[in-house]
Amino acid sequence: MNDIQLYDKKFEVFIKADELKHIVSSLAKKINESNLENPLFIVVLNGSFLFASDLIKKIEIPNTEISFMKISSYIGVNSSGKLKKIFGIEKDISNRNIFIIEDIVDSGNTIHEVVKILNNKNVKNIKIITLLYKPDAYKKKIKIDYIGKSISNDFVVGYGLDYNDLGRNLSNIYKLKE
Ligand code: IMP
Ligand code: MG
């Protein structure tokens, strides 16, 4: 019951919308406690859009700003390893306190690339927020500062995450059924 089908694959409920709400609230609480001055939240599109919109509504740090960048690495259910920067941050962000908002950190290739791009812009401070984290897949050294939930190496969809562009609209997160 509650399974869904996207193209050729079946998925089962993994993290319900209620639990996602709790995860987002507790992340927001921790981020608010950091109280970094005039923070700029950078949403890494597409996957993070629902998570980011729920999270940002709960951020109470004064003078909070939001911007977007788009990077893509996944084709199907495997990380392609090749990253495409579709669009980035145009304005001057030197000396700013940055929070990166990611949907999921898998191999870490994407977050590594995003951090590299931002460091070239001479920002003051970078904190990484991710809804989901796959510790067994992570291959990089960069510290992930705020993790919603660590998960096993399963492929997941829903709440912004997609399988070849399907599944982003689902309010639960589902995992691939073997
Ligand atoms: P990484 O570069 O391997 O860390 O992968 C990060 C990006 O790949 C994420 O921002 C997602 O967009 C996508 N991704 C990684 N794992 C999954 C998954 O299980 N489902 C859907 N997308 C994923
Ligand atoms: Mg993403």
Q: Taking the mean position of all CA atoms in its chain, how far away is CA 49?
A: 8
Residue 106 designated active-site: yes
- How confident is the model over 91-116, as a mean pLDDT? 95
Question: What per-residue confidence (pLDDT) applies to 175?
Answer: 98
- Of 8, 54, 103, 106, catalytic: 106
Ligand 1 close to Cβ of residue 173 (< 6 A): no
Question: What per-residue confidence (pLDDT) applies to 72?
Answer: 73
Question: What per-residue confidence (pLDDT) applies to 74?
Answer: 58
Tell me the per-residue pLDDT of 52-64, one tens digit each, with 9 for 90 and over.
999 999 999 999 9
Phi first, then psi, for residue 29 (nearest 5°) are -60, -45
- How confident is the model over 97-122, as a mean pLDDT? 95
Structure tokens at 31: 């981020």
